Amino acid sequence: MDIVEEEFINPGTRMCAGCAMQLIYRFALKALGPNTILTVPASCLTVLHGMQGFCSTKVSVLHTPFATTGAAASGIVASLEEKGLADNICVVAFAGDGGTSDIGIQALSGAAERGTNFIYACYDNEAYMNTGVQRSSSTPLGAFTATTPGGKIRPKKNMPRILEAHGIPYVATANGSYPIDLYDKFKRARDIKGTRYFHILSACPPGWRFDPKDTIYIGRLATETGFWPLYEIINGKFVLSQPSKKFLDPAKRKDIEQYLSAQKRFSNISKQDIESYRNYIRDQWNEIKRRLENQ
């Protein structure tokens, strides 16, 4: 394995046991290396970075209010450009799904439209986990949260598609259960200029209600059922990632019920909603197929 040895998160963080986000962050930082400045809005990641005086990471980070991630990254980039340091330092924004698809979408869209030279990574644990599991626009259909006690009645927002519409050079999905794929993608994205967007599924034991030991298993099911395909869109070209390639064949996909039934947040999901998932997955893969054939 050619994954760098150095770790950029010191052990002994405040993250829950079995947190996929920390695994995602671990491999993202390995790929990004030390010449990186991070910016992080209010999120579980704020907590990972630690309280005043002492932090868990070996890379500089600017904490910034919830709505501002894209703008804060823009400010860091602008300053580095002014100082002539922009080519040597990679600016990376890392935010949760609420911070990305809800309160931070304006600043992110602005930064992407301006072609800001930075990486924006959304780790998507599909609700406001840091405040106690409230729904976000990225919470999936039928999921229980503290503010959707009857299950969410709308599907999740498709952020990668929204970012792709900005005409940026790099959009990728990833999944904490595929750290090597994620690492390779961050390595690739690091060398691209312009706005690069990652949307990373991040299984959350307390929020999704499963045993921490099952983090990798649950996340993997999201991809194996075809719900969370792994891909890159590099300068408009759609590239299906290796772990997802075989799921072009519907017969290779596991049934979505396996994924849903493994998590207690879906324990009251209706048959109708499960059917909606099946339709969603079918349509999603038909579109992927079309894209692959027509480019």
Partner 1 sequence: MTAAESTEKKKKVKILTGNHAAAYAFRHARVGVVSAYPITPQSPVVEKISEFIRDGKLKANFLLVESEHSAAAACCAASATGSRVGTATSAHGLMLMYEMLPWASGTRLPIVINLATRSCGAPWSVWDDHSDFITVRDVGWIQFMCEDNQEIYDTNFQAFKIAEDPRVFIPVIVAYDGYILSHTMMPIKLEKQEDIDDFLPPINHHINLSNISEVKGVGPVTTPNIIKRAEGTAPGYYEFRYSLQKALENSIDIIKEVHDEFAKKFGRSYGNGFFKTIKTEDADTIIFAMGSVSAQARTVIDKLRVEGIKIGLVSLRLFRPFPIKYLREFFKGKKNIIVFDRDIGYGYEGVLCYELKAALYGLKDAPFIKGYIVGLGGRDVKSEHIIQGVHKALEESEKGEISYKTEFYGLDLDKLDFLD
Partner 2 sequence: MTDSKKDYQKILASVQKPVIGEAGKTGTWSILKPIINLEKCIPVKSGKPSCYNCWLYCPEAVITRTIPPQIDLDYCKGCGICVEECPAKAISMEVVKTE
Footprint of partner 1 on this chain (CB under 8 A)? 34-37, 39, 46-47, 49-55, 57-65, 67-68, 70-76, 78-83, 85, 89, 106-107, 109-110, 113-114
Instruction: Give the span between the Cα atoms of 290 and 226, in whole angstroms.
Output: 16
Overall size of the chain counted in residues = 295
Which of partner 1, partner 2, none binds 62 (CB below 5-8 Å, type-dependent)?
partner 1
Stretch that binds partner 2, among 47-55, 72-80, 88-96, 267-275 (CB under 8 A): 47-55
248 binds partner 2 (CB under 8 A): no
Which of partner 1, partner 2, none binds 110 (CB below 5-8 Å, type-dependent)?
partner 1
2 binds partner 2 (CB under 8 A): no
Number of residues lying near partner 2 (CB under 8 A): 38
Minimum Å gap between C-beta 69 and partner 1 is: 8
Q: What are the tokens at 178?
A: 């595929």
18 binds partner 2 (CB under 8 A): yes
**Which residue, among 281, 126, 106, 119, has the nearest Cα to 203 in the 3D structure?**
126
Q: Strand (E) positions, 109-268? A: 118-124, 170-175, 195-201, 231-234, 237-240
Main-chain phi, psi angles of 220, to 5 degrees: -65, -40
217 binds partner 2 (CB under 8 A): yes
- Residue 70-99 contact track with partner 2, rule CB under 8 A, x = bound: ------------------------------
17 binds partner 2 (CB under 8 A): yes
Q: Give the list of residues 6+ apart from residue 57 with CB closer than 8 angstroms, or none.
A: 8, 9, 10, 29, 38, 48, 49
Return the SS3 of 169: coil
Which of partner 2, partner 1, none binds 121 (CB below 5-8 Å, type-dependent)?
none
Which of partner 1, partner 2, none binds 270 (CB below 5-8 Å, type-dependent)?
none
**Which residue, among 115, 123, 119, has the nearest Cα to 35 in the 3D structure?**
119
If the CB atoms of residues 39 and 263 are measured against partner 1, the closer one turns out to be 39
111: left (phi over 0), alpha (psi -120 to 50) or beta: alpha
For partner 2, the binding residues in 168-187 under the rule CB under 8 A are 179-180
Q: Are strands 231-234 and 237-240 parallel, antiparallel or unpaired?
A: antiparallel
Residues of this chain that interact with partner 2 (CB under 8 A) are 1, 5, 7, 9-20, 22-23, 26, 49-58, 179-180, 205, 211-217
